[in-house]
Amino acid sequence: MRKLAVSLALTIAACGGSSTDPPMIALPPPGDLSPGGLWEGTHTNGDYILGLIGEDGEFHFVDDFGQGYGVMSVDGDQVAADYTHAAYLGETFEDGSVIAACTLSGTLVERDVLTFTSECITGFGTESEVTLSLAFNDNYFRDGSLDTLAGQFDDLGNVLTIDSNGVLFEQDPASGCVMNGQVSVIDPDFNAYAMEFIFESCEGEVEFLNGSTWSGIGALDHTNLVGPEKLVFGATTEIDFPGEGTEAFAIEGVAPRL
């Protein structure tokens, strides 16, 4: 997970119920393909991108520039979305902004290839367009289970703990930040988990995070690894600053299991 210079602490702890039952999700209408999966590929400029997409179309696209998030619609084999792209917490885009409004359109070969063009305009008016071709990762076919997910993970030196009820906890003593939240199984047939959490007890330059609510998607990576199994995830939030407007922020993590 990316950190601020003050070593941002992230805690993902209890925030609500403890049921292990997966939530109800909106499956694609009959005749439409499912966009769900773990997707990997590159931008036209060669930069790596990871796509985490649930069966209901909710997505988080994670790359070196930040994170795109929204809900993807599918009509036959055509995909489309209006979505937001957020810079990582403590970072900005090249023009100094931290949020961009984007659209995407393209085609889907279910559980195989996802290809689309994305057009964005930042909060400061900078426009960009990229084309992406993402390949499906079979790791998505691993069953989703809170018992399977449960354990401790090394999140850049902090210990991220997830119990068998989906309660997560992590804390960074340097910033005082604590995150309280809950993880749930999106669909028990697939390796994808919904995450929601809130920041509390942050001090100093990250005090503005207190009370912010984040949401995201995670998955367990157990293929093609050097070292232990890893939890990969992306999460975003939007914070309203009085008199200044709303800004979006993103965090991502690759946390090896301890």
Residue 131 pLDDT > 70 = yes
Residue 134 pLDDT > 80 = yes
Q: Output the pLDDT for position 203.
A: 96
pLDDT band at 138 (very low <50, low <70, confident <90, very high): very high
The tens digit of pLDDT for each residue in 109-121 reads 999 999 999 999 9
> What are the DSSP calls for the chain, one per residue?
----TT------EE-S----SPPP--PPPTTSPP--EEEEEE-TTS-EEEEEE-TTSEEEEEETTEEEEEE-EEETTEEEEEEEEEPBTT---TTS-SEEEEEEEEEEETTTEEEEEEEEEETT--EEEEEEEEEEEGGGGSPP-HHHH-EEEEETTEEEEE-TTSEEEEE-TTT--EEEEEEEES-TTSS-EEEEEEEES--GGGGGGTT-EEEEEEEEE-SS-SSS-EEEEEEEEEEEETTTEEEEEEEEEEEEB-
The tens digit of pLDDT for each residue in 219-257 reads 998 765 556 899 999 999 999 998 888 999 999 999 999
Average of per-residue pLDDT values in the chain: 86
The tens digit of pLDDT for each residue in 27-77 reads 444 457 999 999 999 887 788 899 999 999 999 999 988 999 999 999 999
Predicted TM-score (pTM) of the model is 0.84
Across the range 147-174, mean pLDDT stands at 94
Q: Output the pLDDT for position 223.
A: 66
